[in-house]
Amino acid sequence: MSKKGFRTSIGGQALLEGVMMRGPKKYAAVVRTPEGLISKEEPAPYPKEKNRILGWVFIRGVCNFVQSMAIGMKTLFWSADQVAASDGECPAESDTTDQSEARSREKAQPSGIGKGLFAVTMVIALVLVVGLFTVLPTFIGGLLSPWIGEQSFARNAAETGMRLVILLTYMILVSLTKDIQRTFAYHGAEHKAIAAYEAGDELTVENVRLRSRFHPRCGTSFLLTVVLVSMIAFLLISLPLQRLEFGSKMGNIFIRTGLRLSLLPFVVAISYEINRLVGRTDSILSKIVRSPGIAMQRITTREPTDDMIEVAVDALQRVIPEEEGTDKWGTE
């Protein structure tokens, strides 16, 4: 079948020395170690397969997001285990592993990270995210409120601008480390593999290498959409509250932070539907909406080596459905 114009719902994530790909029925994670490729596959049907209500508009966005986050964190920790088991050595770029050998090495090594430590790590990460991207901008916005107003559009715009600056600064700083640079290169390999698959190319290292490392339906675009939608949503809810007695408390950092967090499920749901709609076409409007995400990928992706592309291709091939077209964009 010609895949001209084909858009797949298969998505991925860069891991430590590897790539995770998630298809309509399962996900596969592949990591390169000095001994070769190690892979892990598990069933992961979309939430709507368990209950069709979870596939309804606005509900599916939150459910799919939570599931994707859980799979992403699970495979990220799993890849860290594999790297740790190999004494943290990064495989040489010249290392190669035959595909048949890679598949014969499918195994799940014992996790070095217990459930308790995993839970603690998740809580710490959540606190840092909330503090850095929610509390800090709100606190700074409060300091500026004497000049820009307590509940003004200017304050909301200023807080959103600070969130974007914090996000970009964080991405730029972490991209300076060698390990993150390699992870970003695996991110580029993931994009290239999916682009080659959508173009109908044979999934070889040579074909995949020619594709762009920038992909229009990357999760980076979704992240930026969430930031912008959150600004609009908070502004819309804060304006009517100004008319109530509660409106006088809107300048309180804890109240503003609490409101933003309570709106997060709605923001994620709306952002998901926007990205789902925009991903269907290459119209001028769609390209405009996607352009900030593409620009940010200049930071979050790097050109991969052939070894990294091999890993991405292996992971992708494991999740391509047997029934052609069942992974079409918009079917998730």
| Residue 136 confidence (pLDDT) | 83
Q: How confident is the model at residue 243 (pLDDT cuts 50, 70, 90)?
A: low
- Lookup result for tokens 């500026």: 144
Q: How confident is the model over 126-171, as pLDDT tens digits? A: 666 667 777 888 788 777 777 776 666 777 788 888 888 888 888 8
Q: How confident is the model at residue 64 (pLDDT cuts 50, 70, 90)?
A: very high
Q: What is the mean pLDDT of the chain?
A: 83
Task: Note the pTM of the prediction, 2 decimals.
Answer: 0.83
pLDDT above 90: residue 208: yes
Q: How confident is the model at residue 234 (pLDDT cuts 50, 70, 90)?
A: confident
Query: Worst-scoring range by mean pLDDT, 4-13, 16-25, 53-62?
Result: 4-13
Contacts for 122-131: CB closer than 8 Å, 24+ residues apart:
122/73, 130/257, 130/261
| Residue 2 confidence (pLDDT) | 45
| Residue 26 confidence (pLDDT) | 97
Q: CA torsion sign, 240 to 244 to 250 to 255? A: negative
Residue-by-residue DSSP string for 44-74: ---GGGT-GGGGSTTHHHHHHHHHHHHHHHH
pLDDT above 60: residue 88: no
Exposure string over 124-143, b if 16+ CB within 10 A, otherwise e: eeeeeeeeebbbbbbeebbe
| Residue 126 confidence (pLDDT) | 63
Q: How confident is the model over 279-309, as pLDDT tens digits? A: 888 899 888 888 988 999 999 999 999 999 9
pLDDT above 80: residue 69: yes
**∠ Cα 14 71 272 (to 5°):** 85
Most confident segment among 100-104, 108-112, 126-130: 126-130
Give the mean pLDDT of 52-64.
94
Give yes or no for a contact between 112 and 84, defined as CB atoms under 8 angstroms apart: yes
